[in-house]
Structure 1
Amino acid sequence: MKRLFAAAAAIAVATATAAPAPAQDYARYSDEAVTQELARIADTRMIAMVPMRDGVELATNIYRPKGAEGPLPTILWKTPYNELSYNVRTSRRALEAIKRGYAFVVQNERGRYYSEGDYQILGYPQTDGYDTLSWIAAQSWSNGRIGTLGCSSSAEWQLALAAQNHPAHAAMVPMAAGAGIGKVGPFREQGNWYTGGVPRTLFFVWLYGVDNPLRAQLPGDLDPDIRARIARYNDLAATKPSVNWTRQIRHLPVDEMLSDLGEPPATFEELIARGPADPAWREGGLYHDDMGWGVPALWVNSWYDVSIGPNMALFNHAREAGTDAEASANQYAIVGPNTHCAFAGLGPDFVSGDRDLGDASFDVDAQVFAFFDRWLKGERDAYPATTPAVRFYTMGANRWQSAEQWPPADATSVRMYLRSGGNANSLYGDGALSVEAPPAAEAPDRYTYDPMNPVQTIGGGDCCNGGLVTAGAFDQRPIEARRDVLVYTSAPLAEPLEVTGFVNAVLRVSSDARDTDFAVKLVDVAPDGTAYILGDTILRARYRNGYERPEMMEAGEVYTIAPTPITTSNTFQPGHRIRVEVTSSNFPKFVRNLNTGGANESETGHVVAHNTLHHSAAQPSYIDLPVVPRR
């Protein structure tokens, strides 16, 4: 059965068949058959306007099983996307929920399509989310137990809502929810806007498509039946001009990237003007780890997503928050080898990028509904207490594993040092990765970083960027051939080595520029030389001592750079080698540092930086790997 919760791009509508598929196999239904089946088994109310505390009303579709006896548990899917106006994808989700005895409610966020008000990313979860739960719980058809569900933007708003601990919020399934996190543990990404203080470009593209301050709206006092009727032939969706993002993403200054396209000032200009420590990040819908936690959750994530590190850190935080003992005791995580929201593809012969990862089959839908059956219907055996806290796919070994904590309790840190004879430039240099510490003196490695010729992003974790980057386990050799990429590679392994958890890098660096970036990548090198990316991270040097107090670099001084962790699970098989790359750009995934030390996102001028990586005994550079014993 096709997975219900795949990303929109992964959902294809099947063509009509001569005979209908079995009732539960809705993926094989034609659009017409879906509509007919929904009419047969569901009572549907389209574009109901649900009032919020300030009088703004949000457009909401309500699907209930026909002939249901007694109040129903409810699944709420809240979205900024065009999913209410007779969208067949929504109909398929509703059918899946109704077949299992749930009411299904889908609501557009404030300021989107038929919902009133002004749009804000995450849709006011502490108010609009809370008020929607209260409204559902008060309906005669509701049993007062609601589960929130969604992937990406339909998941992110759930996080701040969980801190509110609404009495009807019985369970949640946030899938790929990292953009809802402001700060958690070592990660301070402010909703994926930053990594290590470096802006990510994905939201520039995403906001162009989603943010629409000049949107068309219907009159607020329109008759409800007329409003629902209009929704049959006018979804209020704007179609913006297409953009060549490969060219546009290079536009300088960065903060004029969208206005250069003729867009009016809106959310992009507001956010790009904020630094990573700006107090304004606390005023929106982001979750911060001092907010508490109040809801049992099933976290569904993936290794090649945009924010797997913050997601796993928040899973740990929710288990330890202690503000609601039952909630903290019932946090579960599933992590697959797929990309953003593409859980539909977890099957046999799974391929990520250039890498064959074997049989990754996992029925995500079954786990989601089992979890809801436990918490919304009270069926304790549906999702027993013996369910492992974490189930994760280990690449390389190509198998699902489980643990009771993240990282697994038996993971131990193994330090590997970045070494060379002073010529680690490119994969043809002499860079080595070794468990042996460097001697008292070892020649450093030097490279030149030109912002006008940045190192290209190839694969890794990303999403939603207009085709600028294709996420996944792609071969890194095309960029490892560059002399502005330092490459450190271990000897071939004699035995399998499993790395599962948070991977931390520490670099000793210097530069003749006042500010520059340092990017790190972890790679699995196959015996034939194919270099599969596992994950990457980056840090803007000015933030090496914290985001609240940026400090410029002085020529000749050596500084310690510790980017946020890379998060993965991979077994390096015998004959494979472990590789670490270090450079100063990863573009277009991350905004280029222009190296001036100024207000980077509002500048057009640049400086070429001459950067140095040190690795002597007194100034070692290294990576700490969470190694799990063979099982």
Structure 2
Amino acid sequence: MKNNLKISVFLLLSLFCFSAWAQEKSILEKLDEVAIIDQKVMMPMRDGVRLATDIYRPKGDGKYPIVFSRTPYNFNTWGNGEMNTRTMQTALSWVEKGYAYVVQNERGRYFSEGEWDILGVPLTDGYDAIDWMAKQAWSNGKVGTLGCSSTAEWQMAVASLDHPALAALVPQGYGAGVGKIGDFWEQGNWYRGGAGQMLFTNWLYSVQHDPMAPKLAKGIGQEDLLRLQRFYDMSPEYPRIDSKAALSHLPIQDIIKAANGPKGIYEEMITRKPNDPKWFNGGLYHDEQPFDKPSFWFVSWFDVSAGPNIALYNHVRENAVSEMARNNQYLVIAPVLHCSYTRATEDTKVGDLSVGDARLNYDEMITAWFDKWLKGESPELVSEMPKVQYYTMGSNEWQSSDVWPPAEAVMTTMYLDSDGNANTRLGTGKLTSKKPKKDNPDTFKYDPMTPVESYGGNVCCTGNAVTGGSFDQSEMEMRNDILVYTSDVLEEGVEISGFIESYLYLSSDAKDTDVTIKLIDVHPDGKAYNLDETIQRVRYREGYDKEVWMEDGMVYEVKMTPMSTSNYFAKGHQIRIEVSSSNFPRFDRNMNTGGNTYDETEGVIATNSIHHGGKHLSRIVLPMIK
């Protein structure tokens, strides 16, 4: 019986591998029919470092526009991986539309020479690549950039260098390329409100290349690279780990080391504070940099960085160098997880929440966008496209607007109130339009050794530590260290679309602590679905260029980093917020000591109070559309 089972498993695996191989072979054969395939072109940068580049262009002697993807990920077309097939499918699609498709590894990644850093420092690599492509005999001199996540994050800072051949951008899920934008000092999603986002700890475990790993000889020729890529692609195999357990290790700076992971840039980056000069020397885009390129931006409501992504879109619309660029910024906001736009179905689910038919014609829109800016055509789809297309959950519909937030949204204040017992959802916490006259502070103890666990949320790249999306929070809300404030049952539906502002008044017996907040849609059956969340490390309440400690007995106003959503709270629903001091491992734990956090192994219990009456009006301000 056991032998028969082994044989069956072996046959199934063999069939799967053969099927994958056959699919890749079929796509490669189709590509070979229509395209000139030039793989492992070692494109020279100004300092002599060469970047591994695969080029696919239509057969013939024509001049073609270029769709350019630059990535830290492995795109080798030989092998049985999903990424291998996807690269060829993407190349085939663009070649059939009359484009050259160029995909390149950042320096220090796989076959590319040099040392890697996040976003492919130096910034000039992107400029040099565009310059090289624009000068090729088969190029029409126009380049458009395309990609999601790490294949998008470098686009904005390179665009600030303003190469004339860079005609248009399509950045998708691009938050880790956003440094400082207005109220957001995330430094590429490394921080939120000065608290560390732990996604990069997990991501770098499985991405950074150990400096001691074997490397190919410098100057190796294309012929040898083409031969080597068929059976050796420089891709490390990282042992699987329990990310949830790994991220609980203290101190934070030793997490990858404790998991026997690769050495690399993590140990240095984890020591940087939000205003460290190194954040401003690499490939992040900051709001003081120029921008003058038409761009088609894609954001997700349940991605790690919807807020700063949308803030960057608004910043470019208002501050791009030319009127042409200011008038040619377009935005799509979908109700999906990170880079999951095309995974929307007629019954799209994010976590446990069904948000209806969230499909959209992404391929047609992006193709029309590039047809306009790279081919000089006038697609009707672009000329009729609204500036902002956004999906409203609850009503489950695509909507459009000329600006974000929608012009009809009215910023409406709701105040936190209770009789001093908002602990758990069974407490007396409420959201009300009336200003509380008496301050009855709600108090809880925050123990960094037993933090509030992340359950769902707006996340990326955390492995099994956090599952992204919307889940019923009602059981979590029975914890005594979560304060719960809920509106009356809505007598009529209301849409909330835009940035949600939060101002909380805090006192604590600790030098420093965190304040967290979560926006919730409570359904008539009592299920409480999370929409967005944020955090503020209180030491940075006066700005990220200094650390200011608290004094016991003093009350401090804490302005939270804005949340973002579009959700219809139907009649019979309730609006709720949760307030606490931890959301782990979505964010790192504040040890409450005033120390560095990254090198601490022990914390202290903080007694924290939220004040909400008299002169201490804790409140949220919601962009309401009635």
Write the deviation string for residues 245-288 of structure 1: whole angstroms up to 9, x where unpaired.
22121111111212223446521111111111111111111000
Tell me the CA shift for residue 28 of structure 1.
Answer: 14
Q: Choose the corresponding residue for 2:330, options 329, 332, 338.
A: 332
Moved segments of 4+, more than 4 Å: 14-18
Paired residues for 1:414-425 under 5 Å: 414-425=412-423
Partner residue of 2:426? 428
The 5 A counterparts of 1:360-371 are 360-371=358-369
**CA distance 1:264–1:527, change in 2 (3 Å):** closer
User: 3-state DSSP class of the match of 1:93?
Assistant: helix
Name the SS for the 1:30 alignment partner. Answer: helix
State the shift of 1:418 in Å. Answer: 0.7
Equivalent position of 1:306 in the other structure: 304
Residue 67 of structure 2 corresponds to 75
* Residue aligned with 1:70, SS: coil
Matched, 1:54 2:47: yes
1:383 positional shift:
4.2
> CA–CA distance in 2 between the matches of 1:352 and 1:173?
24
Alpha-carbon contact 2:342-2:359 (below 8 Å) kept: no
- Among 167, 171, 179, the alignment partner of 1:170 is 167
Shift of 1:598: 1.4
State the Cα deviation string for residues 368-387 of structure 1 (Å, max 9, x = none): 11111110111122443332
Select which of 578, 592, 595 maps to 1:595.
592
Q: Which residue of 2 aligns with 1:239?
A: 237
Distance in 2 separating the partners of 1:616 and 1:348 = 46
User: How many Å separate the matches in 2 of 1:593 and 1:541?
Assistant: 10
Residue 4 of structure 2 corresponds to which residue in structure 1? none
Query: After superposition, what is the alpha-carbon deviation per residue over 1:277-320, rounded to whole angstroms, capped at 9, x for unaligned?
Result: 11111111100000010210000110000100000000011111
The aligned residue for residue 580 of structure 2 is: 583
Residue 411 (structure 2) pairs with residue 413 (structure 1): yes
Match of 1:216 in 2: 214
Q: Which amino acid aligns with 2:275?
A: A
Give 1:351 deviation, angstroms. Answer: 1.3
% same residue = 48
User: 1:240 Cα deviation (Å)?
Assistant: 2.2
The alpha-carbon distance between structure 1 residues 216 and 76, as it changes in their structure 2 partners (threshold 3 A), is same
> What is the CA–CA distance in structure 1 between the aligned matches of 2:595 and 2:355, rounded to whole Å?
44
The 1:245/1:40 distance shift into structure 2, 3 A limit, reads same
Task: Give the count of matched residue pairs.
Answer: 606
Structure-to-structure mapping, 1:597-616, within 5 angstroms: 597-616=594-613
Match of residue 568, structure 2, among 567, 571, 580: 571
Aligned to 2:317: 319
Normalised by the length of structure 1, the TM-score is 0.94
CA contact (8 A) 2:208 2:263 kept: no
Q: Relative to structure 2, which stretch is displaced further, 345-354 or 406-415?
A: 345-354
Aligned to 2:257: 259
Kindly provide the CA deviation profile for residues 64-83 of structure 1, in whole angstroms up to 9, marking residues without a partner as x: 1123x520000001010011
- After superposition, give the CA deviation of every residue in 1:204-235 in whole Å (9 maximum; x if it has no partner): 01111111122322112323111111101100
Q: Indicate the residue corresponding to 2:402 in structure 1.
A: 404
CA separation in 2, counterparts of 1:55 and 1:570? 51
**Corresponding residue number in structure 2 for 1:182:** 179
In structure 2, give the amino acid aligned to 1:162: A
After the TM superposition, which of the residue ranges 222-231 and 288-297 deviates more from structure 2? 222-231
Q: Is the 1:595–1:606 contact (alpha carbons within 8 Å) kept by the matching residues of 2?
A: yes
Query: For 1:262-277, what aligned pairs fall within 5 Å after superposition?
Result: 262-263=260-261, 265-277=263-275
Q: Within 1, Cα distance between the matches of 2:196 and 2:17? A: 45
Q: Give 1:234's aligned amino acid.
A: Y
RMSD: 1.7
User: Which residue of the other structure, out of 455, 459, 465, is the alignment partner of 1:458?
Assistant: 455
Q: What is the identity, as a one-letter code, of the residue corresponding to 1:384? A: V
Does the CA contact (< 8 Å) of 2:77 and 2:87 recur in 1? no
Task: Name the counterpart of 1:286.
Answer: 284
The residue number in structure 2 matching 1:9 is: none
The residue correspondences of 1:113-128 to structure 2 (distance < 5 A) are 113-124=110-121, 126-128=123-125
Partner of 1:376: 374
1:470 aligned residue: 467
Q: Point out the more displaced range, 217-226 or 395-404.
A: 217-226
Q: 1:147 aligns with which of 144, 147, 152?
A: 144
CA deviation digits over 1:78-108, x for unaligned, max 9? Answer: 0100113432110011011111111000000
The residue aligned with 2:81 is: none
Alpha carbons of structure 1 residues 363 and 125: separation in structure 2 relative to 1, 3 Å? farther
**Partners of 1:503 and 1:418 in 2: CA distance:** 15
State the SS of the aligned residue for 2:184.
coil
1-side partners of 2:183 and 2:383: how far apart? 30
User: Quick check: 1:47–1:84 contact (8 Å CA) kept in 2?
Assistant: no
Offset, 1:431: 0.6
CA shift in 2, pair 1:16/1:603, >3 Å:
closer
CA distance in 1, matches of 2:617, 2:485: 14
